[in-house]
Chain A
Amino acid sequence: MTPPPASPVRSARLEERRRRWRDPTLALRLALVAAFAMVPLVPSFQAMDLALKIALFATLVASYDVVIGYTGIVSFGHAMFFGFGAYAVALALGRFGAPDYGHLALGFAAGILVSAAVAVAIGTFSLRVKALFFAMITLAFAEFALILAVQWSQVTGGEDGLSPTLPGVFAVTYAGRVLGVAVTGRLVTYYAVLAACVALFLVMRRFVQSPLGRTLQAIRDNELRAEALGFRTFVFQILASSFGSVVASVLGGCYALWVRYVNPESTLGIPIMLDVLLMVIIGGIGTLYGGIIGAAFLLTARTLLPDLRGLGAALFPGSEIFQRLADRWLLYFGVLFILVVFFFPKGVLGTVRERLARRGAPGEV
Protein backbone atom coordinates (compact mmCIF):
# COMPACT_ATOMS: atom_id res chain seq x y z
CA MET A 1 0.00 0.00 0.00
CA THR A 2 1.47 3.33 -0.99
CA PRO A 3 1.86 5.91 1.81
CA PRO A 4 -0.13 9.13 1.45
CA PRO A 5 1.78 11.95 -0.26
CA ALA A 6 3.68 14.02 2.30
CA SER A 7 3.12 17.76 2.58
CA PRO A 8 5.91 19.86 1.03
CA VAL A 9 7.27 20.92 4.40
CA ARG A 10 7.36 17.38 5.72
CA SER A 11 9.06 15.98 2.66
CA ALA A 12 11.65 18.77 2.81
CA ARG A 13 12.39 17.86 6.42
CA LEU A 14 12.67 14.16 5.67
CA GLU A 15 14.96 14.84 2.76
CA GLU A 16 17.15 17.03 4.90
CA ARG A 17 17.39 14.46 7.63
CA ARG A 18 18.35 11.80 5.12
CA ARG A 19 20.95 14.07 3.66
CA ARG A 20 22.45 14.82 7.01
CA TRP A 21 23.56 11.26 7.68
CA ARG A 22 24.87 10.57 4.22
CA ASP A 23 26.62 13.88 4.20
CA PRO A 24 30.31 13.63 3.25
CA THR A 25 31.10 16.57 5.43
CA LEU A 26 29.88 14.70 8.52
CA ALA A 27 33.05 12.66 8.36
CA LEU A 28 35.01 15.86 8.03
CA ARG A 29 33.43 17.30 11.11
CA LEU A 30 33.99 14.18 13.18
CA ALA A 31 37.59 14.14 12.08
CA LEU A 32 37.94 17.72 13.20
CA VAL A 33 36.68 16.96 16.67
CA ALA A 34 38.95 13.93 16.84
CA ALA A 35 41.90 16.08 15.80
CA PHE A 36 41.24 18.50 18.61
CA ALA A 37 40.86 15.64 21.06
CA MET A 38 44.21 14.23 20.11
CA VAL A 39 46.23 17.42 20.43
CA PRO A 40 47.27 16.72 24.02
CA LEU A 41 49.22 13.74 22.71
CA VAL A 42 51.66 16.26 21.31
CA PRO A 43 54.05 17.08 24.15
CA SER A 44 53.82 20.82 23.76
CA PHE A 45 51.82 23.09 25.97
CA GLN A 46 51.89 25.75 23.30
CA ALA A 47 50.11 23.42 20.91
CA MET A 48 47.41 22.65 23.45
CA ASP A 49 46.99 26.31 24.25
CA LEU A 50 46.70 27.28 20.61
CA ALA A 51 44.29 24.44 19.83
CA LEU A 52 41.99 25.24 22.71
CA LYS A 53 42.03 28.93 21.99
CA ILE A 54 41.10 28.14 18.40
CA ALA A 55 38.23 26.00 19.62
CA LEU A 56 37.05 28.68 22.04
CA PHE A 57 37.23 31.51 19.58
CA ALA A 58 35.75 29.47 16.77
CA THR A 59 32.72 28.86 18.93
CA LEU A 60 32.64 32.50 20.00
CA VAL A 61 32.74 33.58 16.40
CA ALA A 62 29.98 31.13 15.60
CA SER A 63 27.83 32.64 18.34
CA TYR A 64 28.53 36.06 16.88
CA ASP A 65 27.65 34.71 13.47
CA VAL A 66 24.25 33.68 14.81
CA VAL A 67 23.58 37.29 15.70
CA ILE A 68 25.19 39.00 12.75
CA GLY A 69 25.05 36.43 9.98
CA TYR A 70 21.86 34.55 10.61
CA THR A 71 19.77 37.24 12.22
CA GLY A 72 21.37 40.19 10.51
CA ILE A 73 21.85 42.33 13.62
CA VAL A 74 25.06 44.30 13.65
CA SER A 75 26.24 44.50 17.23
CA PHE A 76 29.50 45.47 18.87
CA GLY A 77 28.59 44.23 22.27
CA HIS A 78 29.51 40.62 21.80
CA ALA A 79 32.92 40.83 23.40
CA MET A 80 31.23 42.42 26.37
CA PHE A 81 29.17 39.28 27.03
CA PHE A 82 32.30 37.17 26.70
CA GLY A 83 33.85 39.41 29.32
CA PHE A 84 30.82 39.14 31.59
CA GLY A 85 31.11 35.38 31.60
CA ALA A 86 34.85 35.48 32.20
CA TYR A 87 34.54 37.89 35.08
CA ALA A 88 31.57 36.08 36.57
CA VAL A 89 33.46 32.82 36.76
CA ALA A 90 36.67 34.50 37.90
CA LEU A 91 34.85 36.33 40.65
CA ALA A 92 32.90 33.27 41.77
CA LEU A 93 36.10 31.32 42.06
CA GLY A 94 38.08 33.97 43.82
CA ARG A 95 35.88 35.98 46.12
CA PHE A 96 34.00 33.43 48.12
CA GLY A 97 36.76 31.53 49.82
CA ALA A 98 38.08 28.18 48.67
CA PRO A 99 36.54 27.45 45.30
CA ASP A 100 34.46 24.37 44.65
CA TYR A 101 32.16 23.12 41.93
CA GLY A 102 29.26 25.00 43.41
CA HIS A 103 31.10 28.25 42.95
CA LEU A 104 31.93 27.28 39.42
CA ALA A 105 28.33 26.58 38.59
CA LEU A 106 27.33 29.81 40.28
CA GLY A 107 29.83 31.74 38.24
CA PHE A 108 28.55 30.35 34.97
CA ALA A 109 24.96 30.87 35.96
CA ALA A 110 25.60 34.44 37.03
CA GLY A 111 27.38 35.17 33.79
CA ILE A 112 24.51 33.74 31.78
CA LEU A 113 21.89 35.67 33.69
CA VAL A 114 23.69 38.98 33.49
CA SER A 115 24.42 38.58 29.79
CA ALA A 116 20.89 37.59 28.94
CA ALA A 117 19.47 40.44 31.00
CA VAL A 118 21.75 43.02 29.44
CA ALA A 119 21.10 41.69 25.94
CA VAL A 120 17.36 41.86 26.48
CA ALA A 121 17.62 45.34 28.00
CA ILE A 122 19.73 46.74 25.20
CA GLY A 123 17.58 45.05 22.61
CA THR A 124 14.34 46.27 24.10
CA PHE A 125 15.11 49.87 23.84
CA SER A 126 17.41 49.88 20.86
CA LEU A 127 16.31 47.33 18.32
CA ARG A 128 13.41 49.39 17.19
CA VAL A 129 15.62 52.00 15.66
CA LYS A 130 17.80 52.05 12.59
CA ALA A 131 20.34 49.27 12.42
CA LEU A 132 23.23 51.71 12.48
CA PHE A 133 21.93 53.36 15.57
CA PHE A 134 21.74 50.01 17.30
CA ALA A 135 25.32 49.23 16.32
CA MET A 136 26.49 52.50 17.84
CA ILE A 137 24.55 51.95 21.04
CA THR A 138 26.10 48.52 21.52
CA LEU A 139 29.50 50.08 21.00
CA ALA A 140 28.80 52.69 23.62
CA PHE A 141 27.75 50.00 26.08
CA ALA A 142 30.80 47.90 25.36
CA GLU A 143 33.07 50.88 26.00
CA PHE A 144 31.23 51.61 29.16
CA ALA A 145 31.59 48.03 30.36
CA LEU A 146 35.30 48.28 29.78
CA ILE A 147 35.64 51.51 31.71
CA LEU A 148 33.49 50.12 34.49
CA ALA A 149 35.72 47.07 34.77
CA VAL A 150 38.79 49.27 35.01
CA GLN A 151 37.35 51.72 37.50
CA TRP A 152 35.50 49.35 39.80
CA SER A 153 38.79 47.92 40.96
CA GLN A 154 37.64 46.72 44.37
CA VAL A 155 35.45 44.16 42.68
CA THR A 156 37.10 43.54 39.36
CA GLY A 157 40.72 44.09 40.23
CA GLY A 158 40.90 47.03 37.85
CA GLU A 159 43.54 46.89 35.18
CA ASP A 160 45.40 44.13 36.96
CA GLY A 161 42.47 41.81 36.70
CA LEU A 162 41.71 38.62 38.54
CA SER A 163 43.53 35.31 38.79
CA PRO A 164 41.05 32.66 39.84
CA THR A 165 42.05 29.33 41.30
CA LEU A 166 40.25 26.36 39.91
CA PRO A 167 38.24 23.89 41.97
CA GLY A 168 38.64 20.17 42.43
CA VAL A 169 39.60 18.08 39.47
CA PHE A 170 40.63 21.11 37.43
CA ALA A 171 43.40 21.93 39.83
CA VAL A 172 44.96 18.51 40.16
CA THR A 173 48.70 18.70 39.71
CA TYR A 174 49.44 15.15 38.70
CA ALA A 175 47.49 11.92 38.70
CA GLY A 176 49.35 9.40 36.68
CA ARG A 177 49.70 8.88 32.96
CA VAL A 178 47.28 7.76 30.26
CA LEU A 179 48.57 6.93 26.80
CA GLY A 180 51.83 8.55 27.73
CA VAL A 181 50.24 11.84 28.56
CA ALA A 182 50.43 13.26 32.05
CA VAL A 183 46.98 13.63 33.56
CA THR A 184 46.82 17.03 35.14
CA GLY A 185 44.17 19.56 35.98
CA ARG A 186 45.14 21.27 32.78
CA LEU A 187 44.33 18.20 30.76
CA VAL A 188 40.96 17.86 32.42
CA THR A 189 40.23 21.52 31.79
CA TYR A 190 41.23 21.07 28.19
CA TYR A 191 38.75 18.29 27.57
CA ALA A 192 36.03 19.95 29.59
CA VAL A 193 36.29 23.17 27.62
CA LEU A 194 36.57 21.29 24.33
CA ALA A 195 33.45 19.31 25.19
CA ALA A 196 31.69 22.55 26.06
CA CYS A 197 32.68 24.08 22.74
CA VAL A 198 31.47 21.09 20.76
CA ALA A 199 28.23 21.01 22.72
CA LEU A 200 27.63 24.71 22.21
CA PHE A 201 28.39 24.35 18.53
CA LEU A 202 25.80 21.60 18.20
CA VAL A 203 23.28 23.69 20.09
CA MET A 204 23.88 26.62 17.78
CA ARG A 205 23.56 24.45 14.74
CA ARG A 206 20.28 23.10 16.01
CA PHE A 207 19.15 26.62 16.75
CA VAL A 208 19.99 27.87 13.29
CA GLN A 209 18.33 24.96 11.55
CA SER A 210 15.24 25.00 13.71
CA PRO A 211 12.03 26.73 12.66
CA LEU A 212 13.06 29.57 14.96
CA GLY A 213 16.38 29.87 13.20
CA ARG A 214 14.77 29.88 9.80
CA THR A 215 12.37 32.56 10.87
CA LEU A 216 15.34 34.65 11.92
CA GLN A 217 16.93 34.22 8.51
CA ALA A 218 13.70 35.28 6.88
CA ILE A 219 13.70 38.37 9.06
CA ARG A 220 17.27 39.10 8.12
CA ASP A 221 16.51 38.85 4.42
CA ASN A 222 13.39 40.92 4.40
CA GLU A 223 12.14 42.30 7.67
CA LEU A 224 9.04 43.92 6.21
CA ARG A 225 7.96 40.76 4.54
CA ALA A 226 8.43 38.73 7.69
CA GLU A 227 6.34 41.22 9.61
CA ALA A 228 3.68 41.10 6.95
CA LEU A 229 3.64 37.35 7.39
CA GLY A 230 2.76 37.87 11.01
CA PHE A 231 6.05 37.40 12.84
CA ARG A 232 6.80 39.76 15.68
CA THR A 233 10.28 40.38 14.36
CA PHE A 234 11.28 42.40 17.38
CA VAL A 235 10.74 39.49 19.77
CA PHE A 236 12.66 37.13 17.54
CA GLN A 237 15.57 39.49 17.26
CA ILE A 238 15.81 39.84 21.01
CA LEU A 239 15.70 36.06 21.35
CA ALA A 240 18.52 35.63 18.89
CA SER A 241 20.58 38.35 20.49
CA SER A 242 20.14 36.88 23.98
CA PHE A 243 20.95 33.41 22.74
CA GLY A 244 24.17 34.64 21.20
CA SER A 245 25.10 36.56 24.31
CA VAL A 246 24.47 33.57 26.58
CA VAL A 247 26.72 31.36 24.48
CA ALA A 248 29.38 34.07 24.51
CA SER A 249 29.08 34.28 28.27
CA VAL A 250 29.59 30.54 28.74
CA LEU A 251 32.63 30.72 26.49
CA GLY A 252 33.97 33.59 28.55
CA GLY A 253 33.71 31.44 31.62
CA CYS A 254 35.57 28.64 29.85
CA TYR A 255 38.25 31.11 28.85
CA ALA A 256 38.68 32.12 32.46
CA LEU A 257 39.06 28.45 33.40
CA TRP A 258 41.76 27.84 30.85
CA VAL A 259 43.79 31.01 30.92
CA ARG A 260 43.32 31.52 34.67
CA TYR A 261 43.70 35.26 34.26
CA VAL A 262 41.00 37.79 33.47
CA ASN A 263 41.59 41.45 32.87
CA PRO A 264 39.67 44.15 30.99
CA GLU A 265 42.01 44.35 28.04
CA SER A 266 41.96 40.65 27.21
CA THR A 267 38.30 39.92 27.72
CA LEU A 268 36.21 43.04 27.37
CA GLY A 269 38.06 45.37 25.13
CA ILE A 270 38.04 46.40 21.52
CA PRO A 271 40.88 43.98 20.66
CA ILE A 272 38.64 40.98 21.29
CA MET A 273 35.82 42.52 19.30
CA LEU A 274 38.16 43.28 16.42
CA ASP A 275 39.54 39.77 16.54
CA VAL A 276 36.07 38.29 16.39
CA LEU A 277 35.13 40.59 13.51
CA LEU A 278 38.19 39.69 11.52
CA MET A 279 37.66 36.00 12.18
CA VAL A 280 34.05 36.08 11.12
CA ILE A 281 34.92 37.95 7.97
CA ILE A 282 37.74 35.62 7.02
CA GLY A 283 35.72 32.54 7.78
CA GLY A 284 32.52 33.80 6.23
CA ILE A 285 29.43 35.42 7.63
CA GLY A 286 26.41 33.23 7.88
CA THR A 287 28.34 30.01 7.74
CA LEU A 288 28.73 29.07 11.44
CA TYR A 289 31.73 26.85 10.67
CA GLY A 290 33.60 29.72 9.11
CA GLY A 291 34.66 30.71 12.58
CA ILE A 292 36.91 27.69 12.77
CA ILE A 293 38.86 28.80 9.75
CA GLY A 294 38.98 32.40 10.83
CA ALA A 295 40.10 31.55 14.35
CA ALA A 296 42.67 29.03 13.16
CA PHE A 297 44.15 31.47 10.71
CA LEU A 298 44.34 34.48 12.98
CA LEU A 299 45.51 32.77 16.13
CA THR A 300 48.11 30.68 14.35
CA ALA A 301 49.45 33.75 12.59
CA ARG A 302 49.65 35.59 15.92
CA THR A 303 51.51 32.74 17.59
CA LEU A 304 53.94 32.46 14.75
CA LEU A 305 54.48 36.21 14.53
CA PRO A 306 57.38 36.45 16.99
CA ASP A 307 59.05 33.61 15.11
CA LEU A 308 58.50 35.39 11.83
CA ARG A 309 59.98 38.53 13.29
CA GLY A 310 62.96 36.57 14.52
CA LEU A 311 63.35 35.12 11.06
CA GLY A 312 63.12 38.55 9.53
CA ALA A 313 65.70 39.96 11.93
CA ALA A 314 68.02 37.13 11.05
CA LEU A 315 67.58 37.80 7.33
CA PHE A 316 67.96 41.56 7.56
CA PRO A 317 70.20 42.14 10.55
CA GLY A 318 70.38 45.64 11.92
CA SER A 319 67.82 47.06 9.53
CA GLU A 320 66.01 49.84 11.35
CA ILE A 321 63.31 50.41 8.80
CA PHE A 322 62.50 46.73 8.84
CA GLN A 323 62.23 46.88 12.58
CA ARG A 324 59.86 49.81 12.48
CA LEU A 325 57.74 48.23 9.79
CA ALA A 326 57.73 44.86 11.50
CA ASP A 327 56.66 46.42 14.77
CA ARG A 328 53.65 47.87 13.11
CA TRP A 329 52.02 44.52 12.51
CA LEU A 330 48.70 46.11 13.38
CA LEU A 331 49.00 48.06 10.17
CA TYR A 332 49.02 44.86 8.18
CA PHE A 333 46.10 43.61 10.21
CA GLY A 334 44.18 46.67 9.10
CA VAL A 335 45.18 46.33 5.49
CA LEU A 336 44.28 42.65 5.59
CA PHE A 337 40.89 43.56 7.01
CA ILE A 338 40.22 45.93 4.15
CA LEU A 339 41.44 43.53 1.50
CA VAL A 340 39.36 40.68 2.84
CA VAL A 341 36.24 42.82 2.87
CA PHE A 342 36.86 43.92 -0.69
CA PHE A 343 37.85 40.68 -2.31
CA PHE A 344 36.44 37.95 -0.12
CA PRO A 345 33.31 39.42 1.41
CA LYS A 346 31.90 35.97 1.80
CA GLY A 347 34.97 34.71 3.60
CA VAL A 348 36.74 31.46 2.88
CA LEU A 349 33.88 29.17 3.72
CA GLY A 350 31.30 31.36 2.11
CA THR A 351 33.19 31.48 -1.16
CA VAL A 352 33.71 27.72 -1.08
CA ARG A 353 30.03 27.11 -0.47
CA GLU A 354 29.09 29.43 -3.26
CA ARG A 355 31.39 27.67 -5.71
CA LEU A 356 29.99 24.31 -4.69
CA ALA A 357 26.43 25.53 -5.00
CA ARG A 358 27.10 26.81 -8.48
CA ARG A 359 28.46 23.45 -9.51
CA GLY A 360 25.41 21.80 -8.03
CA ALA A 361 27.19 19.57 -5.51
CA PRO A 362 24.88 17.93 -2.95
CA GLY A 363 25.03 18.23 0.79
CA GLU A 364 25.69 21.10 3.14
CA VAL A 365 28.97 21.97 4.73
Chain B
Amino acid sequence: MTDLLEVEDVHTYIGQHHILQGVSLRIRPDAVTVLLGRNGAGKTTTMRTIMGVLHPRRGAVRFDGRPIHALPPFAVARLGIGYVPEGQGIFATLTVEENLRVATLADSAESRERLRRIVELFPDLDRFRHARAGTLSGGQKQMLSIARAFVNPTRLLLIDEPSKGLAPIVVEHLVEALRAMKRHSTVVLVEQNFAMASALADEYYLIDDGRTVHAGAMAALVADHALKRKYLGL
Protein backbone atom coordinates (compact mmCIF):
# COMPACT_ATOMS: atom_id res chain seq x y z
CA MET B 1 0.00 0.00 0.00
CA THR B 2 1.53 3.32 -1.02
CA ASP B 3 1.78 6.00 1.59
CA LEU B 4 -0.48 8.96 1.27
CA LEU B 5 2.04 11.24 2.91
CA GLU B 6 5.73 10.74 3.31
CA VAL B 7 7.97 12.96 5.39
CA GLU B 8 11.58 12.11 4.80
CA ASP B 9 14.34 13.23 7.17
CA VAL B 10 13.08 16.79 7.40
CA HIS B 11 15.17 19.52 9.02
CA THR B 12 13.31 22.75 9.65
CA TYR B 13 14.76 25.93 11.07
CA ILE B 14 12.87 28.79 12.65
CA GLY B 15 15.27 31.69 12.35
CA GLN B 16 18.49 30.22 13.59
CA HIS B 17 16.91 27.54 15.70
CA HIS B 18 17.21 24.02 14.40
CA ILE B 19 13.78 22.82 15.46
CA LEU B 20 13.30 19.68 13.39
CA GLN B 21 16.46 17.64 13.27
CA GLY B 22 15.37 14.72 11.19
CA VAL B 23 11.68 13.90 11.28
CA SER B 24 10.46 11.01 9.17
CA LEU B 25 6.87 9.85 8.87
CA ARG B 26 4.93 7.55 6.59
CA ILE B 27 1.20 8.05 6.72
CA ARG B 28 -1.03 5.27 5.49
CA PRO B 29 -4.28 6.23 3.83
CA ASP B 30 -7.54 5.79 5.75
CA ALA B 31 -5.85 5.54 9.11
CA VAL B 32 -5.47 7.90 12.02
CA THR B 33 -1.86 8.55 12.93
CA VAL B 34 -0.97 10.45 16.05
CA LEU B 35 2.19 12.45 16.71
CA LEU B 36 3.12 12.26 20.34
CA GLY B 37 5.82 13.92 22.35
CA ARG B 38 6.62 16.45 25.00
CA ASN B 39 5.96 20.17 24.71
CA GLY B 40 8.40 21.78 22.34
CA ALA B 41 9.40 18.46 20.76
CA GLY B 42 8.53 19.76 17.32
CA LYS B 43 5.10 18.32 16.64
CA THR B 44 3.46 21.56 15.61
CA THR B 45 6.51 22.51 13.56
CA THR B 46 6.17 19.21 11.73
CA MET B 47 2.54 19.97 10.91
CA ARG B 48 3.42 23.44 9.71
CA THR B 49 6.19 22.05 7.54
CA ILE B 50 3.82 19.58 5.92
CA MET B 51 1.34 22.37 5.34
CA GLY B 52 3.93 24.55 3.66
CA VAL B 53 3.84 27.34 6.22
CA LEU B 54 7.45 26.45 6.96
CA HIS B 55 9.88 25.09 4.44
CA PRO B 56 12.46 22.50 5.36
CA ARG B 57 16.10 23.21 4.78
CA ARG B 58 16.77 19.54 4.24
CA GLY B 59 14.63 16.55 3.48
CA ALA B 60 11.39 16.16 1.58
CA VAL B 61 7.66 15.96 2.04
CA ARG B 62 5.72 13.96 -0.51
CA PHE B 63 1.97 13.73 -0.94
CA ASP B 64 0.78 10.92 -3.20
CA GLY B 65 4.35 10.54 -4.29
CA ARG B 66 4.83 14.12 -5.43
CA PRO B 67 7.07 16.53 -3.53
CA ILE B 68 5.20 19.36 -1.84
CA HIS B 69 7.74 20.83 0.55
CA ALA B 70 8.53 23.78 -1.70
CA LEU B 71 4.91 24.72 -2.30
CA PRO B 72 3.23 27.69 -0.64
CA PRO B 73 0.45 26.83 1.82
CA PHE B 74 -2.42 27.63 -0.51
CA ALA B 75 -1.10 25.21 -3.10
CA VAL B 76 -0.77 22.50 -0.48
CA ALA B 77 -4.33 23.15 0.64
CA ARG B 78 -5.62 22.87 -2.89
CA LEU B 79 -4.10 19.42 -3.19
CA GLY B 80 -6.59 18.26 -0.60
CA ILE B 81 -4.76 18.74 2.68
CA GLY B 82 -6.79 20.39 5.40
CA TYR B 83 -5.32 21.99 8.49
CA VAL B 84 -6.92 22.59 11.86
CA PRO B 85 -4.27 24.50 13.81
CA GLU B 86 -3.63 24.71 17.49
CA GLY B 87 -5.92 27.38 18.87
CA GLN B 88 -8.45 26.72 16.14
CA GLY B 89 -7.53 29.67 13.95
CA ILE B 90 -11.10 30.77 13.37
CA PHE B 91 -11.86 34.29 12.26
CA ALA B 92 -13.40 35.81 15.34
CA THR B 93 -14.75 38.94 13.67
CA LEU B 94 -16.50 36.98 10.93
CA THR B 95 -19.75 35.08 11.46
CA VAL B 96 -19.87 31.30 11.55
CA GLU B 97 -21.36 31.29 8.09
CA GLU B 98 -18.67 33.62 6.78
CA ASN B 99 -15.99 31.40 8.26
CA LEU B 100 -17.38 28.49 6.32
CA ARG B 101 -17.65 30.61 3.20
CA VAL B 102 -14.00 31.57 3.36
CA ALA B 103 -13.21 27.89 3.41
CA THR B 104 -15.33 27.13 0.36
CA LEU B 105 -13.13 27.18 -2.67
CA ALA B 106 -15.62 26.09 -5.29
CA ASP B 107 -19.34 26.69 -5.02
CA SER B 108 -20.80 23.45 -6.36
CA ALA B 109 -23.60 21.05 -5.56
CA GLU B 110 -20.94 18.76 -4.14
CA SER B 111 -19.61 21.31 -1.72
CA ARG B 112 -23.08 22.29 -0.63
CA GLU B 113 -23.84 18.63 0.07
CA ARG B 114 -20.66 18.34 2.09
CA LEU B 115 -21.61 21.45 4.03
CA ARG B 116 -24.99 19.94 4.78
CA ARG B 117 -23.42 16.78 6.14
CA ILE B 118 -21.03 18.76 8.30
CA VAL B 119 -23.83 20.80 9.77
CA GLU B 120 -25.58 17.55 10.55
CA LEU B 121 -22.59 16.44 12.58
CA PHE B 122 -22.29 19.80 14.31
CA PRO B 123 -25.85 21.14 14.69
CA ASP B 124 -24.62 24.09 16.73
CA LEU B 125 -23.07 25.54 13.62
CA ASP B 126 -26.47 25.90 12.06
CA ARG B 127 -28.01 27.38 15.14
CA PHE B 128 -25.31 30.03 15.47
CA ARG B 129 -24.68 30.60 11.80
CA HIS B 130 -25.06 34.38 12.04
CA ALA B 131 -23.23 34.78 15.31
CA ARG B 132 -19.73 36.20 15.31
CA ALA B 133 -17.36 33.31 15.64
CA GLY B 134 -15.55 34.98 18.49
CA THR B 135 -18.58 34.57 20.71
CA LEU B 136 -18.68 30.78 20.42
CA SER B 137 -17.61 28.47 23.22
CA GLY B 138 -14.30 26.65 23.04
CA GLY B 139 -15.91 23.42 21.92
CA GLN B 140 -17.99 25.13 19.28
CA LYS B 141 -14.93 26.92 17.92
CA GLN B 142 -13.16 23.62 17.61
CA MET B 143 -16.12 22.13 15.76
CA LEU B 144 -16.16 25.12 13.42
CA SER B 145 -12.47 24.76 12.77
CA ILE B 146 -12.84 21.09 11.91
CA ALA B 147 -15.92 21.76 9.83
CA ARG B 148 -14.02 24.35 7.82
CA ALA B 149 -11.37 21.83 6.98
CA PHE B 150 -14.00 19.53 5.55
CA VAL B 151 -15.80 21.99 3.35
CA ASN B 152 -13.53 21.08 0.49
CA PRO B 153 -12.68 17.51 -0.47
CA THR B 154 -10.01 16.69 2.07
CA ARG B 155 -7.89 13.63 1.61
CA LEU B 156 -5.57 14.35 4.49
CA LEU B 157 -6.56 16.19 7.62
CA LEU B 158 -3.94 17.63 9.94
CA ILE B 159 -5.30 18.44 13.39
CA ASP B 160 -3.16 20.05 16.06
CA GLU B 161 -4.20 19.56 19.69
CA PRO B 162 -7.97 19.67 19.23
CA SER B 163 -8.72 18.88 22.85
CA LYS B 164 -6.65 21.72 24.25
CA GLY B 165 -8.61 23.82 26.67
CA LEU B 166 -11.82 21.87 26.27
CA ALA B 167 -13.94 20.31 29.01
CA PRO B 168 -13.91 16.49 29.15
CA ILE B 169 -17.48 16.13 27.98
CA VAL B 170 -16.75 18.31 24.98
CA VAL B 171 -13.71 16.20 24.26
CA GLU B 172 -15.95 13.14 24.22
CA HIS B 173 -18.18 14.72 21.59
CA LEU B 174 -15.10 15.66 19.64
CA VAL B 175 -13.82 12.10 19.67
CA GLU B 176 -17.16 10.87 18.31
CA ALA B 177 -17.13 13.48 15.55
CA LEU B 178 -13.57 12.61 14.60
CA ARG B 179 -14.41 8.92 14.56
CA ALA B 180 -17.17 9.70 12.08
CA MET B 181 -14.71 11.67 9.92
CA LYS B 182 -12.17 8.89 9.98
CA ARG B 183 -14.20 7.19 7.32
CA HIS B 184 -13.91 10.06 4.88
CA SER B 185 -10.32 11.09 5.23
CA THR B 186 -6.89 10.19 6.51
CA VAL B 187 -6.06 11.98 9.73
CA VAL B 188 -2.78 13.04 11.29
CA LEU B 189 -3.33 14.14 14.82
CA VAL B 190 -1.15 15.91 17.34
CA GLU B 191 -2.56 15.31 20.77
CA GLN B 192 -1.29 15.59 24.33
CA ASN B 193 -4.39 13.97 25.74
CA PHE B 194 -3.25 10.35 25.71
CA ALA B 195 -6.69 8.90 26.34
CA MET B 196 -8.08 10.72 23.34
CA ALA B 197 -5.11 9.71 21.23
CA SER B 198 -5.47 6.07 22.10
CA ALA B 199 -9.22 6.17 21.46
CA LEU B 200 -8.72 7.49 17.94
CA ALA B 201 -5.34 6.52 16.62
CA ASP B 202 -4.31 3.43 14.74
CA GLU B 203 -0.63 4.28 14.55
CA TYR B 204 1.71 6.56 16.42
CA TYR B 205 4.99 8.41 15.96
CA LEU B 206 6.99 9.61 18.94
CA ILE B 207 8.83 12.85 18.38
CA ASP B 208 11.49 14.01 20.77
CA ASP B 209 13.91 16.91 20.36
CA GLY B 210 12.92 17.34 16.75
CA ARG B 211 13.51 13.73 15.78
CA THR B 212 11.31 10.73 15.19
CA VAL B 213 12.37 8.32 17.89
CA HIS B 214 9.73 5.63 17.79
CA ALA B 215 6.78 4.46 15.72
CA GLY B 216 4.32 1.65 15.54
CA ALA B 217 0.78 0.51 16.19
CA MET B 218 -1.10 2.47 18.83
CA ALA B 219 -2.21 -0.65 20.63
CA ALA B 220 1.42 -1.59 21.22
CA LEU B 221 2.22 1.80 22.71
CA VAL B 222 -0.70 1.66 25.09
CA ALA B 223 0.78 -1.47 26.57
CA ASP B 224 4.39 -0.25 26.61
CA HIS B 225 4.73 1.52 29.97
CA ALA B 226 8.47 2.05 29.76
CA LEU B 227 8.23 3.90 26.49
CA LYS B 228 5.32 6.00 27.69
CA ARG B 229 7.20 7.01 30.81
CA LYS B 230 10.38 7.82 28.97
CA TYR B 231 8.98 10.09 26.29
CA LEU B 232 5.62 11.20 27.58
CA GLY B 233 6.12 11.23 31.32
CA LEU B 234 3.06 9.06 31.79
**A residues neighboring B (CB under 8 Å):** 221-222
Contacts and interface: CB of A to CB of B under 8 A. Distances in A.
Contacts of B168: none
Interface in B55-88: none
6 contacts: A221-B15, A221-B16, A221-B17, A222-B14, A222-B15, A222-B17
Contacts of B16: 221
Contacts of A221: 15-17
A222 B17 CA distance: 10
A222 B14 CA distance: 10
Contacts of B14: 222
Interface in B1-48: 14-17
Interface size bucket, B side?
under 10
A221 B18 CA distance: 13
A222 B40 CA distance: 13
Contacts of B15: 221-222
Interface of B: 14-17
B43 to A, nearest CB: 16
A204 B15 CA distance: 25
A48 B41 CA distance: 57
Nearest to B15: A221
Ranked nearest first, the 6 interchain pairs of A and B with the lowest CB-CB distance are A221-B15, A221-B16, A221-B17, A222-B17, A222-B15, A222-B14
A222 B16 CA distance: 11
A221 B15 CA distance: 8
A124 B15 CA distance: 28
A208 B221 CA distance: 47
A324 to B, nearest CB: 44
Nearest to A221: B15
Contacts of B17: 221-222
B17 to A, nearest CB: 7
A48 to B, nearest CB: 42
Nearest to B39: A228
B97 to A, nearest CB: 28
B62 to A, nearest CB: 30
B75 to A, nearest CB: 26
Contacts of A222: 14-15, 17
A229 to B, nearest CB: 11
A285 B16 CA distance: 15
Nearest to B14: A222
A221 B17 CA distance: 9
A287 B15 CA distance: 17
A222 B15 CA distance: 9
A221 B13 CA distance: 13
A221 to B, nearest CB: 6
B157 to A, nearest CB: 26
Nearest to A225: B40
A95 to B, nearest CB: 50
B85 to A, nearest CB: 15
A217 to B, nearest CB: 11
A128 B85 CA distance: 25
A283 B173 CA distance: 58
A168 to B, nearest CB: 51
A35 to B, nearest CB: 34
A189 B15 CA distance: 44
B91 to A, nearest CB: 18
A326 to B, nearest CB: 43
B155 to A, nearest CB: 32
A207 to B, nearest CB: 22
A346 to B, nearest CB: 13
B179 to A, nearest CB: 33
A287 to B, nearest CB: 15
A196 to B, nearest CB: 34
B42 to A, nearest CB: 13
A221 B14 CA distance: 9
A51 to B, nearest CB: 36
A222 B13 CA distance: 13
B148 to A, nearest CB: 25
A70 to B, nearest CB: 14
A214 to B, nearest CB: 14
Nearest to A220: B15
A22 B14 CA distance: 33
A223 to B, nearest CB: 12
B13 to A, nearest CB: 12
A224 to B, nearest CB: 11
